[in-house]
Structure 1
Amino acid sequence: MRFLRQSMIGVFLAAVSLGLLVYAAYVVQSAVQARLSDDAPAPPPRERVFAVHLERAEARTITPVMETFGEISSRRTLELRAAVAGRVTALHENFEDAGRVTQGEVLVRIDPSEMQAAVDRLSADLADAEAEIRDARRARDLAGAEQTAAEHQVSLREKAYNRQLDLAGRGVGSTAAVETAELQAAAARATVLARRQDVARAEARVDQAATRLLRQRIALTEARRTLADTAIEAPFSGTLSDTSVVEGRLVSANERLADLIDPNDLEVSFQVSTAQYARLLNPEGGLIDTRVLARLDVAGVDAQATGSLSRVSAGAGDGQTGRRVFARLTHASGFRPGDFVTLEIEEQPLPDVISLPASALGSDSTVLVNGEDNRLEVLAVTLLRRQGDQVLVRGEGLEGRDVVTTRTPLLGPGVSIRVLRQEAVVSAGVPDMLELSEERRARLVAFVKGTEHMPAETKERVLAQLAEREVPAQMVARIESRMGG
């Protein structure tokens, strides 16, 4: 009994210990879950401050520059055509593609044998016509003299007739003598009529001879002009292009032989929108007198030419919109017809405008400015022009305010900012210079000398710059980019 009692007490104590242990685990687990389920106390909220760049808005008068692209063409381009048919007997020594010729030089000469024979034949016909008119005039003069003699004969016959009438009235003469005198006077008058007809025929012959002489002179002039057309001269100094004949070849009338282009009298044509064209007009409706700058990037060197607006096309063109404008260029060294160039056209100055970075303008035509306590405000502006990375705007109350130069979706009215002022930096306009090694300089010079499409004037200028101790870094970078290095 004692063993059983002690065993029961042991089991009871073990059960109590196990229960306490389970309860203790439950209490610990409940405490941990309660701890985890409790919300952590949030820290006090703090406003976010954004760092932005600001730029002071200053109103001034700015001349906008319109940028576009255009094609160079020659103001004087002539198709050389054969005026007569024949065999080419002589060509100018420079009659080839890209050959330079001077005004008045004979470019092509066609065999003039047939034309010279025609001139000689018509010269002889002209001499015959001149002799004919001289003979007709002499015949007219003789006919006139005969008419005068016949009229004098009529006067004498009429006097004889009147004398016979007087004698017959006094009973001295006879009736037969009177009739004979009357018949002789009538015959003399008939002779006068015949002589007048001879004079009329002589005058008609003179007129016909004069007409024939005029026709012969016209024919001779045409023949001489045809003979002169066998020698094709250069009407102006220029460069030949698309030559298509050789000496000894037979050419037909009006056959195209070559093109003559004046490379020094150049113009550039470019297409602009209607809105851009309106900005190039003066109050009278004509084109403004403004400066046009044409740039051509040739092997790392910008070839430039200046000019002015000259005219505008009458229509927009098939399938085109806007207007085609032409500008005449001056001092266009290195340019050739067919080049595509970049154009910068100065517009009329705009007073009281503000230049800002393009990133400062929102899609709703607003800008963000710094207000009180460094908080952003919104101002509406009017966009006038876009100039590369800049915009020209006007806005009420904008002048003198600090404008956010770069807008992001996080920025808006009322946002607190920290100012990072961005002052305008004015470039000195002088390119960075490099001192080249002899090996690098030699490679650049060899590449420039081997460039065939570069104009001679530009090539000389580039080589002269490469010969200096310091060379513009921009030019070196452009040449090496074309070298593939």
Structure 2
Amino acid sequence: MRFLRQSMIGLFLASATLGLLAFAVWLVGSAVSERMADDPKGPPARERVFAVNVVLAKAEDIAPTVETFGEVQSRRLLELRAPGGGRVVELADGFEDGGAARAGQVLVRLDTADAQSVFDRAGSDVADARAEGRDADRGLALARDELAAATEQAELRIRALERQRDLQERGVGTATAVETAELAASAARQAVLTRRQAEAQAEARVDQAATRLARAEIAQAEAQRRLDDLTLTAPFDGTLASTNVVVGRLVSANERLAELIDPNDLEVSFRVSTAQYARLLDDQGQLMKAEVTATLDVAGVDLQATGKISRASAAAGEGATGRLIFAALNDSAGFKPGDFVSVRVQEPVLPGVVRLPASAVDARNTVLVLAEGDRLEAAEVDVLRRQGDDVIVRGDIAKREVVEARSPLLGAGIAVKPLRATDAPPPQEPEMVELTDERRAKLVAFIEANNRMPEDAKARVLARLAEPKVPAKMVARIEGRMGG
């Protein structure tokens, strides 16, 4: 009993202790909360002002350009194929890949022995046909003379018959004489018919001889063509490529021997989107002869060639999108068929438009312009073209300052500090480097060994490399092509 009483007293004291401890914790927490809830007095908050770069929007007439990539190709490309089989007996000097050929120059000559024999036999057939024709003409002349003689004899027989009949009527002649004259006249008329038939046969022989001569001459002309085809000549000035024949080799009919390319008549083919193609059409729906500039990067020097659009492909192409356009190039020195170039096509002029950085326009086609008090204001624009890092827009923002780059912190009503281009530091000069003699010699040797670079461009690069200081960008581009 005593044990139970003491246990209850101990349990009560422990419960009271825990309750007092929880109350103390509550009092401390309440005091801390009230202290933290007190509003300390501090300086008033100030509006944040952002520094932004602004540009002046100028309305002007701009001719947009379409930038794409294309491939240079020759407008005249001829495959030299063997018209017949045979052995190669002669090749032109310089018949190799890259060799030059002149118009009318003999490039390949095959063995002509068999073709010459066929031509000679055809000539003999022509001679026989002509002899047959002359014989037929002589036979026709004789047949006509015989017909004339038979006709004359028949006329004499008829006159003799008439005399016998006249004598019989006067009682002088006899019936026997008249019958004899009639038989002679009938025989003469029969002879005339026979001679006419001989004349017709002679005329048919003449026609057959003429036909035989025509066939023989056709066969001779065909043999002459086959003989001439064994000699391949260059139809125009050009450069040889893909040559795969040597003297003594047997070639088969229609085998490709080489390609003849005209390096002076080049064009560039490039593909544009359907929307870009639509902007190159005139009011009648015809493709405009727009100006085109092709650029080729060659060892630190950009080769450029200008031209005009000549035509568009008739079909879009299987598995391809957009439109394929061709442009003829002018003054394309240094370009070769197969070069991969960048192409810029000039579109028609857009009047009264503004060029802005692409970062100034957001996804909703709005820009931030500077209003009174150096605060920002939103303005809507129509994006017409995207030109690299710039956009061409049209809107009511002419002669107003526009924020160059949008930011999530910027918006309408925000106070800013405008930074204008006039406040920017002057542009730095291109970085120049001094070359060591060994490094300079390597660069000069690489440029001199580059056969694809035109002589005038090579001279300009060598002149720059000879200077004490050379642009670092040029050196980097040349060494990048050297693989160093």
The residue that corresponds to 2:290 in the other structure is 290
Q: Which residue of 1 aligns with 2:19?
A: none
* Equivalent residue letter for 1:192: V
Unaligned runs of 5+ in 2: 1-29
- Unpaired runs of 5+ residues, structure 1, are 1-29
CA contact (8 A) 2:66 2:347 kept: yes
Contact 1:368/1:413 (<8 A) preserved: yes
- The question of whether the paired residues in 2 share the 8 Å contact of 1:150 and 1:188 is answered with yes
Residue 195 of structure 2 is matched in structure 1 by 195
Do the aligned partners of residues 431 and 65 (structure 1) sit closer, same or farther apart at CA in structure 2, a change above 3 Å counting?
farther
Q: Which amino acid aligns with 1:72?
A: V
Matches within 5 A, 1:215-234: 215-234=215-234
AA of the residue aligned to 1:138: R
- Cα distance, 1:367 vs. partner? 0.3
Aligned to 1:106: 106
Matched residue SS, 2:71: strand
Give per-residue Cα distances to partners, 1:398-442, cap 9 Å, x unaligned: 1111111111100000101112112599x99x9777775655432
Q: Does the CA-based 8 Å contact 1:72-1:269 persist in structure 2? A: yes
User: 1:449 offset after TM fit, Å?
Assistant: 2.7
**Shift of the alpha carbon at 1:471?**
5.0
Residues 294 and 393 of structure 1: is their aligned pair in 2 closer, same or farther, counting only changes over 3 Å?
same
State the shift of 1:290 in Å: 2.1
Give the Cα separation in 1 of the matches to 2:301 and 2:112: 51
Post-superposition offset of 1:462: 2.9
| Residue of structure 2 equivalent to 1:136 | 136
- Gap change, CA 1:108 and 1:74, over 3 Å in 2: same
Corresponding residue for residue 46 of structure 1: 46
Q: Is the 8 A contact 1:78 1:259 kept in 2?
A: yes
Q: Is the 8 A contact 2:374 2:415 kept in 1?
A: yes
Question: How far 1:463 moved relative to its partner?
Answer: 2.8
Letter in 2 for 1:334: G
Contact 1:94/1:100, CA 8 A, preserved across alignment: yes
How far, CA to CA, are the matches of 2:152 and 2:430 in structure 1? 109
- Residue 278 of structure 1 corresponds to 278
Secondary structure at the aligned position of 2:417 is classed as: strand
- CA-to-aligned-CA distance 1:73-99 (integer Å, 9 cap, x gap): 111111111112111101112111222
Does residue 1:169 correspond to 2:169, yes or no?
A: yes
Give the direction of change, closer, same or farther, for the CA distance of 1:423–1:390 in structure 2 (3 Å limit).
farther
1:152 maps onto 2:130 in alignment: no
- After TM superposition, the structure 1 = structure 2 runs for residues 232-243 of structure 1, keeping only pairs within 5 Å, are 232-243=232-243
Any idea what SS the aligned residue of 1:338 has? coil
Contact 1:384–1:394 under 8 Å retained in 2: yes
Counterpart amino acid of 1:347? Answer: E
Amino acid at match of 2:405: T
What is the CA RMSD across the aligned residues, in angstroms? 2.4
What is the TM-score with the length of structure 2 in the denominator?
0.88
Counterparts of 1:352 and 1:290 in 2: how far apart (Å)? 21
Q: 1:126 to 1:482 in 2, by over 3 A?
A: closer
The residue aligned with 1:373 is: 373
Partner of 2:173: helix, strand, or coil?
Answer: coil
SS of 1:97's partner is: coil
Superposed displacement of residue 453, structure 1: 5.6
| SS of alignment partner, residue 342 of structure 2 | strand
Structure-2 residue corresponding to 1:405:
404
Once the two structures are superposed, residues 214-273 of structure 1 have per-residue CA deviations (whole angstroms, 9 ceiling, x without a partner) of 011111111111111111011112121221211111111111111111122111111111
Amino acid at match of 1:311: R
Match of 2:257 in 1: 257
Q: How does 1:74-473 map to 2 (within 5 A)?
A: 74-396=74-396, 398-423=397-422, 438-451=437-450, 454=453, 458-467=457-466, 471=470
- Residues matched between the structures, number: 453
Q: Tell me, in whole angstroms, the C-alpha distance in 1 between the residues paired with 2:328 and 2:78.
A: 18
For the 8 Å contact 1:333–1:457, the answer to whether it is kept is: no
| Separation of aligned partners in 2, 1:423 and 1:354 | 19
Shift of residue 481 of structure 1?
3.3
Return closer, same or farther for 1:150/1:483 CA change in 2, 3 Å cut-off.
closer
